[in-house]
Amino acid sequence: MVPIMTDHTPTAPAYATVRLSPKADARAIRHGFPWVYSDELVLDRRTKALKPGTFAVLEDAERRPMAVVTVNPASRIAARVMDQNPDAVIDGAWLQAKLARALAHRSRLYDQPFYRLVHAEADGLPGVVIDRFGDLAVIQPNAAWSETMVDVLADAVVAVTGVAQIIKNGEGRARALEGLPEEMAVLRGDAPTAPIPVPMNGATYMADVMGGQKTGLFFDQRPNHAFAASLSRGARVLDVFSHVGGFALAALAGGATQALSVDGSANALALAQQGAEAMGVADRFQTRQSDAFAALEALAAEGAVFDVVICDPPAFAPNKAALEAGLRAYERIARLSAPLVAEGGYLALCSCSHAADLTKFRNTSARGIGRAGRRGQVIHTGYAGPDHPLLPHLAESGYLKSVFFRL
């Protein structure tokens, strides 16, 4: 009798096993926490010998399988959960399923393909950031596994999204913590020869995906740009730490009479100027290249006054060790910017430091405003846009906050 052939389902690969130490909280992993720190993992000789980025089955202290993880014995985050099914196979098909789920969410949100496609652990791809700029995607493989599988990941991105160009941005502090080198590379297609115009909130931003900060543009502030623009009709606007004109150009699209962008990077300001020209608002737009603290002091000495002031600095407190110094810097920003706000005007202060939680940041900002001799009411608190989902178990995924005061 001829046997009936059935579809073959590949068996799970023979992944190594790693084990939680008895003091580790296995319940946290089972309930969704995605990291295992080095002091929570049994780092015996066999585990220490695993190549960074190796996939393994994580067992609890009683040797019961819990999940498939990626292991990096050299990192403080010794293991990251890839899949809570210990029989999962991490391959191109698995990556495509994750990407398809991420894309379905963004496609509901935005009618044009400009957004963060993957927000690391919150989208189930630990350490991976992917920003999409129309027909181009920028991948930041910030964990060892994604560096090892970056070509498979690029193929999956093309299969799911249809983009023609993929840039690898291998720069930043996160890669250093994983022991990865800094490098830029073109993975698919050709490198763009000019900045990419990105439409958001009625404004046009110019993204330099090869030489700009991060992936070339900050999509996370999109809803906060929109709220600032709603305050800016007929207003004079100051945008400090403006990068490529984030808040300023949105304000001009919202009807601001004039906007001044301040940034330390001449290249970023040149891109902001190009954006203003593309929008047809260059006659209402000015730039000033300067250290932000020095610019705030100089503007005060000049007697400058604005109806809306926004300060969106880099992460002054990127970790707990830098928290106190970072909070002092945020307080100083508030103290120097508050005197520039007209009576009844608005001051927006932003932080992308996950170590400084909302309460600490808001209180520090209010203290700085008070020390400037001003008083304010909080009218709005903003966060990153919905293309930057927050994993409830991981505070680091909810790093951005923007507090709007009326002075």
Residues ≥6 apart with Cβ < 8 Å to 194 = none
Choosing from 352, 366, 372, 391, the catalytic residue is 352
Phi, then psi, of 285 in degrees rounded to 5: -125, 135
Yes or no: say if 396 and 319 are a contact pair by the CB < 8 Å rule: no
A 10 A CB-CB count for 196 gives 18
352 is catalytic: yes
Q: Which two tokens stand for residue 334?
A: 């508030």
Length of the chain, in residues: 407
Q: Which two tokens stand for residue 165?
A: 């160009």
Residue 400 in 3-state DSSP?
coil
Comparing CA positions, the residue from 249, 251, 310, 235 lying closest to residue 278 is 249
Max Cα-Cα span within the chain: 95
What pairing do the DSSP bridges indicate for beta strands 77-83 and 35-37?
Answer: antiparallel
Residues ≥6 apart with Cβ < 8 Å to 263 = 241, 242, 243, 269, 272, 287, 289, 292
String of b and e for 216-253 (b: at least 16 CB within 10 Å)? bbbbbbbebbbbbbebbeebbbbbbbbbbbbbbbbbbb
Beta-bridge partner residues of 383? 401
What DSSP assignment string belongs to 19-71? EB-TTS-HHHHHTT--EEEGGGB---HHHHTSPTTEEEEEE-TT--EEEEEEE
Residues noted as catalytic: 352
